[in-house]
């Protein structure tokens, strides 16, 4: 699970939606400088995870549904990203010739420790915290 532009754009969605008001997708994309082709794909994922609610029609748009204090950065990355590991060789589908030839790999094991620590840190950060101006003072 790598942190991509799509996750960055999803965070920007929340920056606008945190006010709890209904916003059109065009308003969000213009305000947050998100390319239109990403916006609807991200919105589908956020809606599917019950993070936002979508209202269709002429007066439609989307609004925040989730409590940003309860949604962690790890939760968001899990919804947006296709890969479920931070480090490529930890992906179960990754074929490592070294690991296969040597009945394991200490580097792989060490990276697994790092990935676990990274996931634990991302789980500590709520989206509410991340969107605060004084975030750096808290961490």
- Sorted by where each begins, the domain ranges of the chain are 5-131
Task: Give the whole-number percent of the chain exceeding pLDDT 90.
Answer: 59
Could you tell me if 13 and 42 are in contact, meaning their C-beta atoms sit under 8 angstroms apart? yes
Spatial CB neighbours of 47, under 8 Å, sequence gap ≥ 6? 53, 54, 62
How far apart CA 88 and CA 99 sit, in angstroms, is: 13
Of 38-42, 61-65, 76-80, 81-85, where does mean pLDDT reach its minimum? 81-85
Q: So what's the pLDDT on residue 2?
A: 62
Mean pLDDT over the full length of the chain: 89
> pLDDT per residue over 91-139, tens digit each?
778 888 888 888 888 888 888 888 889 889 999 999 999 999 888 777 6
Does the structure show a pLDDT above 80 at 67? Answer: yes
CATH of 5-131, picked from 3.40.190.80, 3.90.870.10, 3.40.50.11540, 1.10.10.10, is: 1.10.10.10
Which of the two residues, 82 and 39, has the higher pLDDT score?
Answer: 39
> What are φ and ψ of residue 85, in 5° steps?
-130, 155
């Amino acid at each position: 699970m790598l942190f991509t532009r799509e996750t960055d754009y999803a965070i920007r969605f929340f920056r606008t939606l945190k006010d709890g008001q209904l916003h059109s997708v065009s308003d969000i994309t213009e305000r947050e400088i998100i390319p239109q082709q990403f916006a609807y794909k991200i919105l589908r994922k956020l809606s599917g995870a019950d993070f936002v609610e979508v209202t269709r029609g002429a007066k439609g748009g989307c609004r925040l549904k989730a409590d940003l204090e309860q949604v962690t950065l790890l939760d968001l990355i899990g919804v947006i990203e296709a890969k479920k590991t931070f480090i490529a060789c930890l992906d179960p589908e990754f074929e490592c010739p070294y690991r296969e030839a040597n009945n394991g790999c200490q580097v792989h094991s060490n990276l697994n420790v790092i990935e676990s620590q990274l996931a634990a840190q991302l789980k500590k950060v709520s989206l509410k915290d991340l969107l605060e101006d004084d975030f750096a003072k808290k961490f």
